[in-house]
Structure 1
Amino acid sequence: MRARATVLAVVAGMAAAGLAVTPAAAAPDLEWSECAPELNAPRGTGCATIDVPLDYEDSSGEQITLTLSAAGSLDAPEALVVNPGGPGESGIGTPKQIWSSLPPEVSSQYLVVGFDPRGVGASSPVDCGDTSGIFPTPLPPHEPADADQEQQRVDIARQAAEACAENSGDLLPHITTANAARDLDRIRSALAQDKLDYLGYSYGTKLGATYATLFPDTTGRMVLDSVVDPTVSVYESGFQQNNAMQKRAEQFFDWIAERDDQYHLGVTGSRVQRAWDEMADKLEAQPAEGKVGSAALGEMLASTMYSDTSWPTLAGAVSKYRDGDASGLVSATEELGLDTVNGSQLAYNCVDGVWPTEWQTWHDDTARSAGTAPLFAWLNTWYSASCAFWGAPPQERVEIGEGDVPPVMLVQAQDDPATPAIGAHRMQETLPGSRLVLAEGGNHGQFLFETNDCIDTPVLEYLRTGELPSADVDCPVAPAPGAN
């Protein structure tokens, strides 16, 4: 599952004219200019495009266009390519935020470059058409009460897959992480860089590790933050994620309980969860303002797990709802809800590996997962269920770490709900010699976003010098947010 908003927020800064004219010798294949208004790029960002093969097995055939963005000086000696995760998230706004967050000795070293991966945003996007008619308002509950409710959800998933195939069928077989990694090498070449220096968050860790596997000789300094488990399929990772999300939700309920004088939802985490379950039942029977039912409440909870900075928003909205004011809950749905159909994300996930085609397998695995992760098992299944009916066959998965892959820098939160810490440990085993910066806490996306010198200092030193730490680094958690 993935929140509607990316982990990386857009940061405004200096005018686009601040991106200097590109030296012809530095990047002959790129022409940087002001970004088109519809890209909503932050000030100080320049944009360019490159063409890449739709099908790398026919590299001289049909080409598609990728849109790139950059922040910093085009006279910088090196380029740092960044990806915010997803899959399916735009990377146009990411360079300015990263560049603005770097200390001068590092920001002067790098032109920070982002891009919309193939199938996303301004890079030949997957289009699923108008799917609004597929989804009733409010949605049925995530955990079906009976076979009819489950079939209703299955039908929604099938219709969504059919809509994506109808509108983007020719594109779907080629929206893979392996192809996106090949695109990264085209970007490296267009930037006239001998090595790819790269920073990837969340799904971006899978993309970076795939690049390092396919192109070990041109892999430079690589930072992978909030690490995807390289040893399991996308289908299996969803069930792995469920338990991590459940644990993080219990931490959220404990946090609320510690502030009972503010929220009045219970003095222990278990009492808060009981109050939460009671509210879900009430919303299922009588949706708030006819819009927010139990499914929307579950989606808001899932979205809130990515960062504790959003905990006060949801806790406050729930508290006010229990006092008779539903307005905060309705507005929180807009802020914290999940996309109903994210065609770009489905395109990557559904083709990147094998998914069960028999619904009974999904049902049995989800029911089993619900025994330990009742808040998220069915929600997560419905978020990916269209992969059971996807209009493109699965592609062969790249075995990350196969061959002589160089070591990288890994960054991870111990209780990350979206990419559980086991993924970082397994990535370190898969890429021997890699170093892990492991922080307490559970926010998804650590480097530059936790204001934690223990995390940032070794990563910045690695980006500056190319030298990995001599040993792994353990860091304390950043302070939890106060109640608003």
Structure 2
Amino acid sequence: MRATVLHPAAGALLLTALATAPAGGAPQEPGAAERRGTAVAAARAAAAGIAFGRCPDAEDLPGSLRCGTVTVPLDYARPDGRQIRLTVGRVRATGKDPRAGGRTVPRQGALVYNPGGPGASGLHFPLVGLLPEWKRLAAAYDLVGYAPRGVAPSTPLSCQDPKRFLKGPGPAPVHPSAAYKRERITEARAYARGCAERSGDALRHHHSLNNARDLEVVRAALGEKRLTFMGASYGTYFGALYAELFPSRVRRMVFDSVVHPAPERIWYRNNLAQSEAFERRWADFRTWIAAHDDVYGLGRTPREVQRRYEEASARLATRPAGGTVGPAQLQEMLLRAGYYDDLWPHRAHALSAYLKGDPQPLIDQAGPHPEAAAEAENASAVYTAVECNDGPWPTDFRVWDRDNTRLARRAPFETWENVWTNLPCAYWTAPRQRPLDVRTGPGELPPTLILAGERDAATPYDGALELRRRLAGSVLVTERGAGSHGVAGGANACVDGHLEAYLLEGRLPARDASCAPRPAPRPTGRPADRSGEAAAPRTAS
């Protein structure tokens, strides 16, 4: 499942890069060619800079956002070989602090952002400077985002025809039959084969180590001597790889909602942990719905809400809403609510309205969007390529079946859908990378800021604890009891205060700190109509 989101020189070890012998005949250390190639690409980028102009979709964007491209090698071991282009977006620092009457503040350089995925684009990130929560940072920094390699418009990857990507309504069994598993294995094999056929040899070069190297080239192209970077979700992982590969190039780094970086967790075990965490998050959502039974009428306990969800799923299996929304689309819609609290009122309303006879809100929120099919297919292709290329995966389905059958007994909500998302990695033909063991000792890296929600499901909290242990001098700020994925620049003033103190002043708490959770979302919609309904006793969930 995406860390989204989804969601990288010294020490780089590539299983796929065989050390070549230099003129003297002695073998090179693994990764030496990639290190040299990165240095060559960065020097070229620094000399070329970025010619910013109109953005590809300029008609829909404010004029302050300007775009340009940075050229990087497809294969860093061959910097003079095939080149690809990354599209970069930038909004210049305003220089005016809105909290000080518009007082002029000095520019601190570029703040480069990645939103995660893998497969998400940060190209439009600079527009967050228009939001009140970001204006102080936008005063001091050029806000910069980019589309990583493979993400449109940066030489996009594709694994299948986008017209075939949007599937019709289907089941979402929490305990799938053997026959259903065979069907999904066939689909996974075909998808992996499609990735290889449509992308060719380029496919092997889409991985997190290269994303970290690309970030180094973007830094150079921007003319920044040292990098100020903020990564969310998957962005924390290749940001951590960057910190390991290029520690002397780091100025400040923010890791928001952290992927567990231990090599043995990349990515199979991280997905198991995510499925378990989403069960807790689904319970949080049902508890909130039950607390607002007067609005939604879906039950007064989480268990009752679960029964209404199962009732809706059974109905949709018989007759999909609008011919497009079946149990799988319903499950996906509610799973997305596990990422962001602010989706809860809308998702609860859609489920409630459907069960009361109005399917339109459900169709609107869970139905397919053909106009976005190409973008969705591209994001899926990049997600799959990066995760499959990044490390080892079980190649025997019996391992997947054993592990996830056990897990589904206690965490049924997401487990098997997560399997189907990642199963192409079992049949991947491109070579795998060896995950880097990220560790920095005292003084090797400037102090960094880690942000995490205690009940985040997409990137469970233990990932933040692990990264803090691995990056000497890092400080963790926790949003207690909160589960929204991505905590910076949003609804928690305490978190934003720590973020601003660090990015604007280089100031961190003396030790790990915590913030009270953001306010719970308010329900929307009219009170539930209970005419003719017998009062139900409250029961323990």
So what's the TM-score if we normalise by structure 1? 0.90
Q: Are positions 1:448 and 2:468 aligned together?
A: no
In structure 2, the residue matched to 1:2 is 2
In structure 1, the residue matched to 2:54 is 34
Larger mean Cα displacement after TM superposition, 458-467 or 349-358? 458-467
Change in Cα spacing, 1:188 to 1:455, as seen in structure 2 (3 Å) is same
How far apart are the structure 2 equivalents of 1:157 and 1:42?
A: 41
In structure 1, the residue matched to 2:302 is 269
Change in Cα spacing, 1:417 to 1:104, as seen in structure 2 (3 Å) is closer
In structure 1, the residue matched to 2:313 is 280
Change in Cα spacing, 1:410 to 1:310, as seen in structure 2 (3 Å) is same
How far apart are the structure 2 equivalents of 1:42 and 1:351?
A: 37
Is the 2:350–2:362 Cα contact (8 Å) retained in structure 1? yes
Is the 2:5–2:117 Cα contact (8 Å) retained in structure 1? no
Q: Are positions 1:434 and 2:474 aligned together?
A: yes
Alignment of 1:235-314 (within 5 A): 235-314=268-347
Residue from 391, 409, 423 that aligns with 2:429: 391
Alignment of 1:368-379 (within 5 A): 368-379=406-417
Aligned-pair distance for 1:327? 1.6
Q: Are positions 1:407 and 2:447 aligned together?
A: yes
Give, as a single letter, the amino acid of the residue that structure 1 aligns with 2:486.
G
How far apart are the structure 2 equivalents of 1:425 and 1:89?
A: 25
User: Structure 1 vs Structure 2: percent identity of aligned residues?
Assistant: 38
How far apart are the structure 1 equivalents of 2:296 and 2:62?
A: 36
Paired residue secondary structure (2:81):
coil
In structure 2, the residue matched to 1:165 is 196
Change in Cα spacing, 1:42 to 1:343, as seen in structure 2 (3 Å) is farther
Aligned-pair distance for 1:170? 2.0
So what's the TM-score if we normalise by structure 2? 0.81
In structure 1, the residue matched to 2:258 is 227
Change in Cα spacing, 1:360 to 1:379, as seen in structure 2 (3 Å) is same
How far apart are the structure 2 equivalents of 1:4 and 1:429?
A: 24
In structure 2, the residue matched to 1:156 is 187
CA shift digits 1:266-303 (9 cap, x unpaired): 01111111221222222223322332221111111111
Residue from 364, 382, 386 that aligns with 2:402: 364
Residue from 520, 523, 538 that aligns with 1:480: 520
Change in Cα spacing, 1:361 to 1:41, as seen in structure 2 (3 Å) is farther
Aligned-pair distance for 1:41? 4.6
How far apart are the structure 2 equivalents of 1:142 and 1:42?
A: 44
In structure 1, the residue matched to 2:128 is 97
Structure 1 or 2, whichever has the larger Rg, is: 2
In structure 2, the residue matched to 1:21 is none
Change in Cα spacing, 1:247 to 1:253, as seen in structure 2 (3 Å) is same
Paired residue secondary structure (2:314):
helix
CA shift digits 1:44-70 (9 cap, x unpaired): 210011111110111121111111000
Structure 1: gaps (5+ residues): 8-25
The number of aligned residues is 465
Is the 1:126–1:171 Cα contact (8 Å) retained in structure 2? no
Is the 1:212–1:406 Cα contact (8 Å) retained in structure 2? no
How far apart are the structure 2 equivalents of 1:128 and 1:272?
A: 38
In structure 2, the residue matched to 1:60 is 80
Alignment of 1:315-394 (within 5 A): 315-334=348-367, 342-394=380-432
Larger mean Cα displacement after TM superposition, 280-289 or 411-420? 280-289
Is the 1:172–1:391 Cα contact (8 Å) retained in structure 2? no
Give, as a single letter, the amino acid of the residue that structure 2 aligns with 1:49.
T
CA shift digits 1:409-440 (9 cap, x unpaired): 00001101101111100110111221011002
Aligned-pair distance for 1:359? 0.9
Structure 2: gaps (5+ residues): 8-45, 96-106, 525-541
CA shift digits 1:300-335 (9 cap, x unpaired): 111111111111111111111111121211111148
In structure 2, the residue matched to 1:466 is 506
Is the 1:131–1:163 Cα contact (8 Å) retained in structure 2? no
Alignment of 1:15-54 (within 5 A): 29-37=49-57, 41-54=61-74
How far apart are the structure 2 equivalents of 1:83 and 1:118?
A: 12
Paired residue secondary structure (2:184):
helix
